[in-house]
Structure 1
Amino acid sequence: MAEAILDPDLPIVDPHHHLWDHRNYPTAGGGPEHPFMTAIADARRYLLDELIADASTHNVRATVFVECGAFYKADGPLEMRGIGETEFVNGVAAMSASGIYGDFRACAGIVSRADLLLGDVVTPVLEAHVRAGGGRFRGIRNSASFNEDKDVLGPLNRVEAGLYHDGKFREGFARLGPLGLTFDAWLLEPQLPDVIDLARAFPDQTIILDHVGTPLGRASYEGRLPERFGVWRDNIRQLAKSPKVVVKLGGLAMAFCNFPSFLSEPRAPSEQLAAEWAPYIETCIEAFEPKRCMFESNFPVDMGACSYATLWNAFKRIASGYSADEKTALFSGTATKTYRLEF
């Protein structure tokens, strides 16, 4: 049974979702399918219609798209193929901005990917994204997610250790600031020192930490969330000392975290989700304050634990004790400011 929507008039800006058509998405390979793939099995297609259906369950006013390898160009120079994703998403944003779907503004901000390992010569790629974004392009995400236990990430094993320390990466990273672009960082909890070091090396660059730093609870980390909570908390507090870092509160429904609610049957209610996630979210809010925190859906990836409606109900339960101004920051204000949204 669907839950009643809590605080249905509260305005929301969802600063992290994807759009894709992954009809041919690869699985983990010869063995059993990775839980990440199981979680998104019912969302191989997630485009504007699906996003509107989800967003309409709450008062979602606007969203930010974050890169996921969707609709890259099939030809042309490799470094430029990702421009296809920005072109695609800008088209979706233009559809939404027409008003025929109501006041909701999908993809008011766009975060895509450019290979910052190109170093200084990444500038033409960044400039091409800006042009393709039609005034909506806001930044780049390069995932550094890595673990020596390959079963942690499964099909998302894509980079080697130490990406954010690489000299060529940092050359490319330095090109973001002059273009006014943000940087979304996705990495795993044991790697948090990497983004701490990056933020200290570039104190004027806006960095958004995705998914509260992705605590790990699967494969060789199964059952170790309580054991590693203190390590995670200490690193979050260190990262918060860099004033240009912002954190996204979400992503805790992913396979990598492996909370009891993940793939549970029956589906976990928002009360359970709030109880599981609150220690991480409340720690981030304490460290960063609401003005540098924003709730995110991470949909459709996070559908492995819940529906979009239930996810935002869980966030509203966690935030129930905060003031009206703090709730505004957490649910819309920080996202609007960080990504310079206009809607």
Structure 2
Amino acid sequence: MQQLDFSIVDSHIHQWDPYNTPHAASLAVKLLGKHPYLLDKMVRMVKPQDLIDTVGLTTHVTAPYLPENYKQDAGEYDIEQIIHIEASWHDHKGKGVVGETRFIESLPFNESTVKLGGIIGTADPCDSSFKKILKLHKQASPHFRGIRRMAAVHEDPKIHAWANEPHLYTNKKFMKGFEALAQMNLSFDAWVYSDQIRDVTALARAFPETSIVLDHFGTPVGAFGEVGSHTGLTQTSRDNIIFRWKDDLAELASCPNVYTKMSGLFMPVLGHQFHKQKKLASKQQVFDLSLPLIRHALECFGKYRVMFGSNFPMDSVSTTLVNIIDAFSDAVVSYDPDALQLVFQQNARQFYRL
């Protein structure tokens, strides 16, 4: 564990409240919120199995996650500010997505909880009203910094798809709308599975003036164990996933307008089984599993284009936030002690214009 003599910027958290917002689980929690066992059963009945397998458990997505919850999870760590990343707001069509930005802006971010640094909302570049929706986001909050449009789709049909097509970022209509981001000085959070990283590279090369950050190192699905119907079944297949991920990440890093987030490394979709074993990964386990990924990302992007993000509460199914900060900071120091404050504070400040 590093003794950090600076405050942390967490570049990737999610906030939600199924009880008071148009959340996908709203009806279920209002009916069964006082009965956790029945609530879990209902969610598992109505949601597709591939989604359940991707998130691992249901409790963290059906419970509110608000500034005070994050403050508690952070323990004794001094969190300077956070970036909220869009979290599948249920009213996701057209202008409805602006409701999430208004909701986040209304939350109690203050001295007793944590400071709000920025909001990354969502919008569809394919929408004919895309520019207008971006303007509405900006009007809704002075903290609005850009958007994320998830494109994670896997060839394994039992792995949840977060978009309607496998190559959204190279869709001509998407790319046409995407021009507006640079024009409005907004950034883009890209999230794909690792076998789609080349799509992010193509997008970055087509729009060299747009600041892009690859979330979660590009999520090498199945790198740590079996997921879906046939992904990560053997050590050889897992090695091949990592080999391709390494090559594609290095190619993406050649684009100077692209950063990446050291985040989301303990989502079940990577093949972690901790939630099935009903235990949390220790700090040492987090360090051992994440170190090869973190070192490779730093080798590719350097110490100025990697930023820390907790991905909480999504990664809480596998370990604690304190264990993640402990282990990730040790991993960064093992690569280069001078990178620590850059990765955990300054790079996010610079990228998101905090």
* TM-score of the pair, normalised by structure 2: 0.85
- Residue of structure 1 equivalent to 2:36: none
Report the equivalent of 1:241. Answer: 254
Asked whether 1:325 is paired with 2:338, we answer yes
Alignment counterpart, residue 36 of structure 1, candidates 45, 54, 58 = 54
Q: Partner of 1:129 in structure 2?
A: 137
> Does residue 87 of structure 1 match 2:97?
no
What's 2:34 paired with? none
Q: Equivalent of 1:7, from 3, 8, 11?
A: 3
Amino acid across the alignment from 1:276: L
What secondary structure is seen at the aligned counterpart in 2 of 1:21?
coil
| Letter of the 1:17 counterpart | I
Whether 1:114 and 2:123 are equivalent positions in the alignment is yes
- String of CA shifts for 1:26-45, please: whole Å, max 9, x gaps: 54746697223433424522
Equivalent residues in 2 for 1:142-291, closer than 5 Å: 142-153=149-160, 156-217=161-222, 218-219=227-228, 220-223=230-233, 224-261=237-274, 263-291=276-304
2:199 and 2:102 map into 1 onto residues whose CA distance is 31
Scaled by the length of structure 1, the TM-score of the pair is 0.88
Structure 1 pair 65–32 and aligned structure 2 pair: CA distance change class (3 A): closer
Please state how far the C-alpha of 1:208 moved relative to its aligned partner.
Answer: 0.5
Task: Tell me if the contact between 2:52 and 2:58 (Cα under 8 Å) persists in the aligned partners.
Answer: no
Q: Report the identity percentage.
A: 29
Q: Which string of whole-angstrom CA distances, capped at 9 and with x for unpartnered residues, describes residues 99-157 of structure 1? A: 3x16x31x3100000111115x4111100001101x2100010011112323112xx54
Look up the SS of the partner of 1:140 in the other structure. strand
Are the aligned partners of 2:151 and 2:169 in contact in 1 as well (CA < 8 Å)? Answer: yes
Instruction: Give the counterpart of 1:308 among 321, 325, 342.
Output: 321
CA contact (8 A) 1:40 1:303 kept: no
Aligned to 1:59: 78
Q: Distance in 1 between matches of 2:137 and 2:88?
A: 14
Aligned residue number for residue 17 of structure 1: 13
Helix, strand or coil at the partner of 1:64: strand
Q: Contact 1:216–1:256 at 8 Å: present in 2 too?
A: yes
CA distance in 2, matches of 1:313, 1:263: 24
- Aligned partners of 1:261 and 1:31: how far apart in 2? 18
Distance 1:40 1:245, change over 3 A: farther
Conserved 8 A contact 2:50-2:159: no
Q: Is the 8 A contact 1:267 1:305 kept in 2?
A: yes
Letter in 1 for 2:321: Y
What amino acid is the match of 1:188? Y
Higher mean C-alpha deviation, range 11-20 or range 55-64: 55-64
Shift of 1:261: 4.3
Q: Which amino acid aligns with 1:142?
A: R
**What secondary structure is seen at the aligned counterpart in 1 of 2:197?**
helix
Q: 1:31 to 1:294 in 2, by over 3 A?
A: closer
1:303 partner letter: S
Distance 1:337 1:157, change over 3 A: closer
Residue deviations 1:37-86 (CA, integer Å, cap 9, x gap):
4334245221122112123431211100000133748xxxx410011000
Distance 1:32 1:213 in 2: 19
> Which 10-residue stretch deviates more, 108-117 or 29-38?
29-38
Letter in 2 for 1:179: M
Q: Distance in 2 between matches of 1:109 and 1:321?
A: 30
CA distance in 1, matches of 2:278, 2:48: 27
Q: Determine the C-alpha separation between the residues in 2 that align with 1:140 and 1:90.
A: 15
Task: List alignment gaps of at least 5 residues for structure 2.
Answer: 26-42
Q: Is the 8 A contact 1:71 1:88 kept in 2?
A: no
Q: Does 1:295 align with 2:308?
A: yes
Do 1:199 and 1:242's aligned partners in 2 also have CA atoms closer than 8 Å? Answer: yes
Query: Please, what is the CA RMSD of the aligned residues?
Result: 2.2
Indicate the residue corresponding to 1:48 in structure 2.
67
The question of whether the paired residues in 2 share the 8 Å contact of 1:14 and 1:63 is answered with yes
* Residue aligned with 2:56, SS: helix
